[in-house]
Each structure stands twice: as structure tokens, then as C-alpha cells.
Structure 1
Amino acid sequence: MVLLVSWAPKGLSRLPLSLAMICVGLGAGIFSFDILSFNPDPRTWDTLTERLTELVVIISLMGAGLKLDRPVSWKGWAPTWLMGAGLKLDRPVSWKGWAPTWRLLAIAMPLTVAATAWLGVAGLGFSLAMALLLGAAMAPTDPVLASDVQTGPPRSGEDNEVRFNLTAEAGLNDALAFPFVNLAILVSLSGAAAWAGQGLGQWLAIDVGWKLLAGGVMGWAVGKAMGWLIFRAHRQGISRHADGLVAIGATFIAYAATEVVHGYGFLAVFVCALTIRASEREDDFHAEMHDFAEQIERLLMMLLLVLFGGALANGLLDALTWTDVGIALAILFIVRPVFGYLSLVGIDLPRRDKVLLAYLGIRGLGSVYYLAYGLNHGEFGDSERLWAITGFIILTSIVVHGVTSTPLMLLIERLGGRPLQRPSAPANPPPKDEQLG
């Protein structure tokens, strides 16, 4: 399996097939023939499911942040009075460069949560709390399984508008889904009427306001400190004396420090990665950190998808009804594409790019994490159908997006959205001892 993870991405890079599909198929086969003697049902291993998916998501977020070549900057849209006050802002790209990402996050994502929750209540007969949890779990695109449609490694040149915005969206929307998950938990514990009367202000102040602010600030602070340590401390920084394992250490520090102050650790890890990248944007050590994080991510992804295939073989979808199947397909192929496209109206992008950004709302291990987290912290009652619907949506996304994403990305690049060329490293860089002088 480890050799498969190492070799498969290279062989599958131009085929309508993904590593995720292979892992799920192998897991289903292994557990169907009782080669392994336990049932990897997430409903049984609920705490372990939450922790493993949490781990793979945060490592994926670090990798996603490190590989974004386009800087994030407040410059160009900050209020005039801030500029007049002499506030020093980061360089380069303005709000416009990230505009499709902000639209997908601020418009498409909340509408997706609301529409999915409505379908859960009206179509599936779920309670409001359970429908909200389904909406929150289905809203974010997955940073783990979406790697095939994201940008390439730092300074690789494998970048265009579609790849960039899918990467940036996946990096940010995992954190932005958390307020909706917490809302579902609050409703499940106190009831809709009691929550609307007393809990709305607390939810807005704490779950929306404080936790997002704490995640952003802590991620920036840890990223600044790590950037100084990596690139500037001890003459030229530890980047000349370390390896890619630094990325995992930075991930855990950012995540843990933010959780201590009750912020959103997912947001902190992504912001930390962006800040580290901005500390010394053209350094080759970014690629080394990214590559190591990506290898760990792929190993964990392989493990979890094999277990997911085993859960499918052992009855995860048994509670599924035909109504559930119809609603699940609508969530995946109507709700996200429609709201995703509508959110991009007015953006200066070719229509084909907008269609692809709206269509490639890949669901995966992030949804499993949010569902496990919500069920472990709330009171939702019987969750058999909820797990079955979520499992079906993830399986369908793995298969359909896995088959279509590579040909579609190749087509877009052939029609004019070819990867943007970034400055590359020197062909024959000097040895490290000469770089140190």
C-alpha cells in the first residue's frame, strides 16, 4: 500500500482515475473477504474516526497553504483611514486576485448549508439539528481528496485560476464550516426555540466572532514566528539545516496553540502556512516542506480510504433509501454547482472556469470529520441514515469527480487556462555549503 501511494500519483496523473478510487476499492475487497477481522465502521470507532480525520485535514491544510504562489494581501481594499494611519500592509495582489475564492466562501457556502439543511428537513424528515449538521458537513470542499485539481508544489508553475481558487477555497472553508457545525450542536442540546431565544447572541459572538478571529490571529502569529525561525534565525535560518519535517511541527504548534485559546485550529494552520510562505516567498525550502507534508497526507489518506472502503463493505450504506439517494445526488450535483456558479456572477472569469469551479465541489474526509465531531459533541439521536447519506455522497464524489476531474482540467488548460509559469529555481544551484558562504 505504501508503494502504491508512492507510485500511483505519477501513473494516474493523466488518467480518469484517482488514488482515492483505488484505495476505496482495495478496502472494500480486503474487508469483503474477511482478510482483516475487525469492522472499521465509523459509527463504532467514533472517537478514533474524529481524531484520524482531524489529523489528515490539518496536514493537508498546511500543504495547501504552502503551495499557493499567489500572495494574500489586504492592500487595495483596506479602508482609506487605515492607509492614512500608516498601517503597513503586505505587498502584491489585491482583493481582486482572490475575488472568486471570497465569493465561493461568503455566498456559495452559506447558501449550500441552508439549502442542504432545508432538504434534510423537508425531504429526509430530519430534525432541524440533524439537518444543520448534514448541511455543515456537506458545505466544505475537501482539501485532501481535491489535491488532483489543486495547484502544484511551490513555484512549480502548475497554477491557473481554477486550480488556485479550488486550493484557496479548500484551505479556508474547512474552518468556516465550523460555526455551522457548532450551531447544529447547540440546537441539538437546547432545542431550536430555546437556542433562538437565548443562544443566538452567544453563537455569533463566540462561535462566529471570537473563534474565527482567534484562529486567524494565532495562525498569523505562529506563522510569523516560524518564518523567522526557519529563514532568519541563526544567520540564514534553520532551513539550511533541517528537513521537511518542520512543516509537521509548525502544523501541530499552530493547531494546538489555537485550540488552547478556543479558536478554530483549521483556520490557524492554513493562515500559518500562508504566513510562512510570505516570510521568504522564493526559498526552495517551501517545496521541501510541502513535499514532506504531502507524503504524510497521502499515507493517512490511504489508510482512511481503505477503512472507508471496509466500512462500505460492512454495511455503512444499509440504512440508505431511494429518497436518500435522490437527495444526496441533488446536494452533490445541483446545490453546490448552482450556488457555486451564481456566486461567481460578475467575476471576470471565462464561463468554462466558473462552471468548473462550481462543479468541482469535492466531498471527502473533511465531511467525515465534521459529522463525527458533531455526533460526538451533540445529541442527535439515531444517526444511521445520516452516516449512510454522507458515505454515499463521499463515495459518489470520489468516483464521479475522480473520473471527470483530470480530463476536465486538461481540457480547460488546452482551451486557454494553461498553468501559469512561475519563476523556477536555477538549473544548477550551488552546493549548500557555498550558499552559506
Structure 2
Amino acid sequence: MSFILCMTVFGVLLMLLALTSSYLRWLPVTTSAVCLAFGAGIGPWGLDLVQLDIRDARHWLERLTEVAVLFSLFNTGIKLRLPLHRKAWHSAYLLAVPVMLATIAGVSLAAHYLLDVPWAISLLLGAMLSPTDPVLAGLVQVNNAQDFDRVRFGLSGEAGLNDGTAFPFVIFALLFVSHGVSDFAWVQGWLLKNVLWGVPVGLLLGYGLGRGVGHLMIYLRIKNADSTSSPNDFLALALIAIAYVAAEGLGAFGFLSVFAAGLGLRQAEVRTTQSEVPSEHVAKPVLGHMDSDPQAATVTRHEELSESQLAAGVMMGDMLAFGSLVERAMEVLLITLLGAAIALYWDWRAIVLGLALFCVIRPLSVWLLISRHLLTRPQKALVGWFGIRGIGTLYYLCYALSHGLPMDSVQTTISLTLSVVALSILLHGISIQPLLERYERSMKTDSRDPASDLAE
């Protein structure tokens, strides 16, 4: 596809989304579902303007999906304001580890026994399809840093954590594919390097960086009296890059480090401002940062704000706005490319695997492993259904293609993975808004405040 054609296609798509946004928000469909349909329309199933072969594009597509996931993980991290020991986090921890492990096992069993896929490839499919997606799950995640709804908070924490906690099992599956059933001497090395070292070091390193940089930046903004004159979007880019590179350099997982950096940055804001209200709710980004008047950056009376609230509010608002813009742009681009590629790899067997994952494996895992003291039955049902697969899975697919996946397994792996992701985007895309609206109406009629339990 030529550069001119590429610009034309995405220009038309973005214009359509901009012009129809006021209509789309009233329809039971997400932007991702629209982009998938648009991609299919310009691909071999439609106008045949774009033909994307994942095998040929695996290297640049791996980097593109990686960047999209990194921005989304960071953005998710800075929205989660509660301390890590609070009750709100318990369901996120359970979803990110026990439920994910149960999902890997369930998908592996389903792929092997229902579709006759070899055990090694079944395990790889389970690992790649187990994490929920932080990019496409925006509608079901927290709306802001003061949203403590138990469903949204749990799904946000899960999406932030399990894109990193799934990585060791993708590596395990690839090692199993290469070594076979006759040699398991590598398991001890995998356990030490990828689980006992890679996961905790990534989390601790990222959290420490985010916390330290957050305190430093707020201090410098106050000291130099430039809270409203210096832009902060470069700070988001720098922190994402440094957290990722530092973790990878130490043999830890960059995804976890970047998510934890967002969490650490948010906790720096909490400790500095000493306020129950997120600072970006009382201060706002200054458009273009051309006006250094502090009153231009407040949504309340300027004299009622502390210096730390003003500095932290503008900083957090800048980074949230910048991260959200990049995240949405990457979502549109990547899902459109997926729609264009799906015609070459559509596999009808994915309907069986997808329905098993969405309707049996995920809901059953949530039902059995999440305590009723954390989530009510209706909330368990919602969390069980809202296990959206997307760009994180595409990254793991490209990673597997670039790291030793046998040629005789490539077609099956790509076809089943892309087809299940496309099914997830369609099924979840048309059900998210109606189900969320029904849930929110039920919560309004409930006399008990859901945030009160989470603040414990």
C-alpha cells in the first residue's frame, strides 16, 4: 500500500469517526467494532485496497502494538488512585493471576480437545489469549481517578497487570514448543528468570521510578513557579521509555514496569497533595502552555488551591490528555489493520474456541475464584463477560512469530488468534454499552454506596 493510499484511507476513517461520533455514542457499538468493519471493507473482503500479511509485517507490527500497549498501561496506572493494600485491589490481583492461569489452562484444553491442536500450540494460544486488553477495554475501565466502582476498578487493575503477568507463560509455551516433551531441564531457568525475577523486579522498579519522578517534578514546578507554563507530555514519554528500558535492561518485564510507573506517579500526587480529590479535578492543563497565569489552570478559586495541587493537577491532566490521544490513535490504526488482515486468516474453528473462552472459561473462572465478599453475583457476571481480547494479544502473536514459532504451526496460530480477537471486538463491542447502562442504573437504585466498600 502506497503512502498516499495509506493517508487517504486513514484520513477518511478519522473523518467518518469525527463526523459520526455524536451518533455512534447512542448506538450499541464501540469505536473498535466500527474500525474493524472499516478495515474489513477496505481489505480483500471489500474494496481490496489493503492486503496485510501478518507474517511479512510481524516485525514492525510487533513494535507498533508494543507502543500501543505501553501507552495504555501507563494511562491505566495513573488512573488508579487507591493504595495497593485497599480492598478494591483484591479482585484485580485475583483476576490478574489465578483467573488468568485458569484461562490459560481452559483455552489450552479447549484448543486441544475441541480443535485437535497440538499441546504445545494449545498452550501458546492459551497464554496469548489469556490477558485482557488495556487498549480496547477503555469503556469498562475507571472513568477517572475518583472512580472506585468495584467492577471498573477490578477490570482496570486486571488489564494493567495481566499483560505483564501473561508474558512469562508466552515464553514458557515457546520454550515448550522448541524443546518438546522430552526435555524439561529449562523449566528451572524459566522459573527463576521470568517469574521470580522478571515480575517483581519489573513492578518494583517501575513503581520506584514513577514515585521518585513524580515527587521530583512537583517539587521543581513549585520551586521554579512554572506549574502552568511548562508542558508535561514529554514527561509521560520519558517515564514510559525509561521504565521500559530499565526493566528490559535488568531482565524484567517492561509492561509491568510501565504500569507500575503510572501507579507510582499517581501515589506521588496523592502523598504530595494530601487531598481526597484528584488534583486534576481542581486544576487543568493550560492549552498550549502559552499563558503562565495560574488562574488559567484552575477550575476552582485559585486561592483555595495549594501549590502542590496546582502543580500536580496540571502535570497529571497533561499526561492523561496526551496518553489518551495516543491510545485512541493507536487503537484506530491497529484495529483497522486487523480488519484488513482478517480475510487472509479467518478460521471458522475460532467460533468454537472464542465462545468457549467468552461464555464458559472466563465466566466460570471468575465465578469460582472471586469471593462473593469482593463482587456480588451481578458484578461477577459482568466481570466474567468483560474479558476483552485485543492489541495485547496481537503483540504476543507477533512476538511468537519473531521468536521461534515453527513454520508448520504459523498458519494455525495466526488464524485462531486473529479470529478470536476479531470475535471479541464484535461481541464485546455490541454488548458493552447496553450492559454497562443497565449495571449503572441498578447501582443508582441501590441504596448502598459501592465506593464505601472499596475505600476500606
Distance verdict in 2 for CA 1:146–1:353, change over 3 Å: same
Amino acid across the alignment from 1:377: H
- Is the Cα contact below 8 Å between 2:350 and 2:419 reproduced in 1? no
Could you state the TM-score of these two structures normalised by the residue count of structure 2? Answer: 0.80
Tell me which of 316, 324, 338 is aligned to 2:345.
Answer: 316
The C-alpha deviation readout for 1:4-54, integer Å capped at 9, x for no partner, is: 555666654453110001111111112248867552221221111211111
- Is the Cα contact below 8 Å between 2:66 and 2:395 reproduced in 1? yes
Tell me which of 355, 364, 385 is aligned to 2:381.
Answer: 355
- Aligned match of 1:111: 102
- Is the Cα contact below 8 Å between 1:223 and 1:273 reproduced in 2? yes
Q: Does 1:190 align with 2:217?
A: no
- Aligned match of 1:66: 78
Q: Does 1:200 align with 2:212?
A: no
SS of the aligned residue for 1:145 comes to coil
Instruction: Tell me the distance in 2 between the aligned counterparts of 1:32 and 1:304.
Output: 17
Tell me which of 388, 391, 413 is aligned to 2:440.
Answer: 413
Instruction: Report 1:266-305 matches (<5 A).
Output: 266-281=255-270, 282-284=278-280, 285-305=315-335
Long gaps (5+) in structure 1: 74-92, 423-437
Instruction: Report 1:222-301 matches (<5 A).
Output: 222-233=209-220, 235-236=222-223, 240=228, 241-281=230-270, 282-284=278-280, 285-301=315-331
Q: Does 1:100 align with 2:126?
A: no
SS of the aligned residue for 2:380 comes to helix
Distance verdict in 2 for CA 1:217–1:253, change over 3 Å: same
Distance verdict in 2 for CA 1:236–1:185, change over 3 Å: farther
- Is the Cα contact below 8 Å between 2:168 and 2:194 reproduced in 1? yes
* Offset at residue 239 of structure 1 (A): 5.1
- Is the Cα contact below 8 Å between 1:150 and 1:167 reproduced in 2? yes
Q: Does 1:372 align with 2:401?
A: no
- Aligned match of 1:129: 120
Q: Does 1:49 align with 2:40?
A: no
- Aligned match of 1:403: 430
Tell me which of 12, 32, 37 is aligned to 1:20.
Answer: 32
- Aligned match of 1:211: 198
Distance verdict in 2 for CA 1:149–1:12, change over 3 Å: farther
- Is the Cα contact below 8 Å between 1:160 and 1:417 reproduced in 2? no
Instruction: Tell me the distance in 2 between the aligned counterparts of 1:297 and 1:4.
Output: 18
SS of the aligned residue for 1:39 comes to coil
Distance verdict in 2 for CA 1:116–1:350, change over 3 Å: same
Instruction: Tell me the distance in 2 between the aligned counterparts of 1:253 and 1:203.
Output: 25
* Offset at residue 288 of structure 1 (A): 2.5
Q: Compare 219-228 and 270-279 and name the one that shifted more.
A: 219-228
- Is the Cα contact below 8 Å between 2:75 and 2:323 reproduced in 1? yes
Distance verdict in 2 for CA 1:4–1:347, change over 3 Å: farther
* Offset at residue 245 of structure 1 (A): 3.9
- Is the Cα contact below 8 Å between 1:14 and 1:406 reproduced in 2? no
Long gaps (5+) in structure 2: 1-12, 271-277, 281-314
Instruction: Tell me the distance in 2 between the aligned counterparts of 1:179 and 1:19.
Output: 31
Aligned-residue identity in percent = 33
Instruction: Tell me the distance in 1 between the aligned counterparts of 2:329 and 2:22.
Output: 15
- Is the Cα contact below 8 Å between 1:230 and 1:239 reproduced in 2? no
Q: What is the root-mean-square deviation of aligned Cα atoms in Å?
A: 2.3
Could you state the TM-score of these two structures normalised by the residue count of structure 1? Answer: 0.84
Amino acid across the alignment from 1:117: S
SS of the aligned residue for 1:312 comes to helix
Residues matched between the structures, number: 393
Tell me which of 34, 41, 57 is aligned to 1:29.
Answer: 41
Distance verdict in 2 for CA 1:128–1:421, change over 3 Å: closer
Distance verdict in 2 for CA 1:6–1:233, change over 3 Å: farther
- Aligned match of 1:325: 351
